[in-house]
Amino acid sequence: MRRKHALALAAALLALLLLALGALGWARAQKLRRQAAQAGIWQAGGHWGEALKGGGAESGAKFARKLLELRAAQFPGAEHVSCALIPDKGYYLQGQGAPEYDYQALFSAVQQGLAGSGVAWVDLSGALSASDYYTTDSHWRQERLQPVLDALGASLGFSVSLGDFQPNSVQGFVGAYGKYGAKPAEELVYLTSPATGAAVADNFQHPESTAVYDLSRLKSEVPYDVFLAGATPLVTITNQAAASARELVIFRDSYASSLAPLLVGEYRTITLVDIRYMASGLVPQYVDFTGKDVLFLYSVFVADQSAMLR
């Protein structure tokens, strides 16, 4: 009899525990949904994404003016200056659940603002698709950038083939939207070559990180930081064994972190400048633009909120 009572009590306690755990799981899921909604997080076509803030054409025009001010003040004589905007994955999922946004108005405002300035416009909208981005993160996949390299190379005069790189697969990657419940985990691929192995990074924010791939970051809260160790105002990559003595300066956001390692075989030095974290007036103290190519490479997230450029 006592055994029966003990078993019944144990079963009741287990049921209560399962109910409590279920309630906690439900509450956590509800909290994540609220946080995601507040942050403008959306889901469409198997992807998680983040809504643009709505700066639109007005912000695009200011963005173009900022770039021209930089050129006039810091490298007026540069011969090869190009600009490209990187669409977010929502551009390719319009009508499929991604928030509606007038991308054409933003692109046109930037193009018109740069017209006649000598800054070459590079259209990347046809070089990408939704599948070229991580599903749990906003960033593009390095191993899918051949069309982007072709478009940029046509403007700046270089040629890079991803066939010359070795893919390295990392399983279990969950991007920035993981904190809102994004899943499932996916694959991250980083590409290596003799050039990436020979390249040395001088990182202003992370001086201890001298490789173009900081593998320790794969275990951090932001595993995308494997590319050039993450956010930093300034980093210069040097490869003395590059195919040419050419040098490149990229004004950029985080998307360029995974692009730059693919260019180290073409340029002896690549300097990446992030004026979200560094006042633009300070740049000439650290960067000599003499004889260098210049690329403005920004995602639409920056062009849509161009006030973040200092």
Measure the CA–CA gap between 5 and 3, rounded to whole angstroms: 5
Mean pLDDT of 184-195: 97
pLDDT above 90: percentage of residues in the chain? 84
Note the pLDDT of residue 26.
40
Read off the amino acid at residue 142: Q
Note the pLDDT of residue 29.
47
Reduced to 3 states (helix: H, G, I; strand: E, B; else coil), residue 217 is helix
Mean pLDDT of 194-204: 95
Among 1-10, 95-104, 286-295, the least confident range:
1-10
Measure the CA–CA gap between 230 and 201, rounded to whole angstroms: 12
146 pLDDT tier (thresholds 50, 70, 90): very high
Run of H or E including 104: helix 103-114
Among 53-57, 129-133, 159-163, the least confident range:
53-57
Average pLDDT value over all residues in the chain: 91
**Pair 181, 136: CB distance under 8 Å:** no
Note the pLDDT of residue 77.
87
Mean pLDDT of 268-279: 97
Read off the amino acid at residue 16: L
Note the pLDDT of residue 307.
94
Measure the CA–CA gap between 259 and 127, rounded to whole angstroms: 14
**Pair 162, 146: CB distance under 8 Å:** yes
Give, to the nearest 10 degrees, the angle between helix 103-114 and helix 56-74: 30
103 pLDDT tier (thresholds 50, 70, 90): very high
Asked if pLDDT for residue 130 goes beyond 80, the answer is yes
**Pair 232, 257: CB distance under 8 Å:** no
Note the pLDDT of residue 40.
81
Q: What is the pLDDT of residues 211-220, one digit of tens each?
A: 999 999 999 9
The two structure tokens encoding residue 288: 């000599």
Mean pLDDT of 77-102: 96
Q: What is the pLDDT of residues 10-46, one digit of tens each?
A: 556 665 655 655 655 544 445 445 555 656 899 999 9
Reduced to 3 states (helix: H, G, I; strand: E, B; else coil), residue 230 is coil
Mean pLDDT of 162-173: 97
302 pLDDT tier (thresholds 50, 70, 90): very high
β pairing state of 186-192 and 269-273? unpaired
Nearest to 287 by CA among 243, 244, 233: 233
Identify which has the larger pLDDT, 164 or 22.
Answer: 164
Reduced to 3 states (helix: H, G, I; strand: E, B; else coil), residue 171 is strand
Asked if pLDDT for residue 2 goes beyond 80, the answer is no
The two structure tokens encoding residue 266: 């073409």
pLDDT above 70: percentage of residues in the chain? 87
How many alpha carbons fall within 13 Å on the CB side of residue 197?
5
**Pair 242, 268: CB distance under 8 Å:** yes
Spell out a b/e string for 221-231, using b for 16 or more CB atoms within 10 Å of the CB, else e.
Answer: eebbbbbbbbe
**Pair 110, 94: CB distance under 8 Å:** no
Measure the CA–CA gap between 25 and 153, rounded to whole angstroms: 50
Cβ neighbours for 68, distance < 8 A, ≥ 6 positions apart: 113, 114, 117, 119
